[in-house]
């Protein structure tokens, strides 16, 4: 057996061993033919491979990331501006905490900036993303996080706004 055959056999062995540990799978893959949003209510796609993805679309069972269809998260949320002045960047502790099945996450930003708000499990895997690199005006905001389909446990929610990054823990107790 030459080196090339040994490399191919080793790669197949590693890939087959790691495939059993995968938690996510692509149910089907589709490569679009343009940058426009394509949707029929059940499936939705923003952009295609090689093009920028502007983020997940709403009101779809499936959403896309880089041109491939993925199952949409089992969690839902809604971003609402709330009255009040903001003195700077802040990410507040969610309330209630522990929660079942919903909690409120509040944050403030002092200037128009690109914002991302996501929830991660303790392995660092993203389980929810409500705001994905959106330009948001200065102000205070609240997001209703409804954790349907997630198991009980500790989660980390993370706000990224410009150069500001802050994370906090929350506990889902079913």
DSSP 62-129: EEEETTEEEEPPS-B--EEEESS---S-EEPPPBSSSBSSEEEEEEEESS-EEEEEEEEETTS-EEEE
Which residues of the chain are under the pLDDT cut of 70?
Answer: 1-77
- Amino acid 10: pLDDT: 56
128-146 pLDDT per residue, tens: 998 999 999 999 999 999 9
The whole-number pLDDT of residue 2 equals 66
The predicted structure's pLDDT at residue 11: 55
Q: What values do phi and psi take at 80, rounded to 5?
A: -130, 135
User: Which tens digits make up the pLDDT trace of 5-29?
Assistant: 655 655 555 444 444 444 443 333 4
Quote the tokens at residue 27: 């149910």
- What count of Cα atoms within 13 Å lies in the side-chain half-sphere of residue 160? 11
**Where does 79-172 sit in CATH, by number?**
2.60.40.1930
Q: Tell me, what's the pLDDT at 87?
A: 83
Q: In the chain, where are the structural domains located? A: 27-72, 79-172
């Amino acid at each position: 057996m030459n080196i090339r055959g040994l490399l191919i056999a080793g790669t197949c062995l590693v890939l087959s061993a790691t495939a059993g540990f995968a938690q996510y799978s692509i149910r089907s893959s589709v490569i679009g033919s343009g940058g426009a949003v394509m949707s029929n209510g059940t499936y939705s796609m923003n952009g295609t491979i090689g093009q920028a993805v502007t983020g997940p679309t709403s009101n779809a069972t499936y959403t896309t990331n880089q041109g491939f269809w993925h199952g949409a998260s089992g969690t839902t949320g809604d971003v609402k501006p709330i009255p009040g002045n903001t003195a700077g960047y802040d990410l507040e502790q969610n309330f209630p905490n522990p929660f079942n099945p919903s909690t409120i996450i509040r944050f403030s930003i002092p200037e128009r900036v690109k914002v991302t708000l996501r929830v991660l499990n303790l392995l660092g895997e993203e389980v929810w993303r409500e705001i994905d690199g959106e330009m948001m005006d200065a102000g205070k905001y609240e997001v209703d996080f409804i954790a349907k389909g997630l198991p009980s446990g500790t989660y980390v929610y993370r706000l990224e706004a410009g150069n500001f990054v802050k994370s906090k823990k929350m506990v889902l107790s079913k």
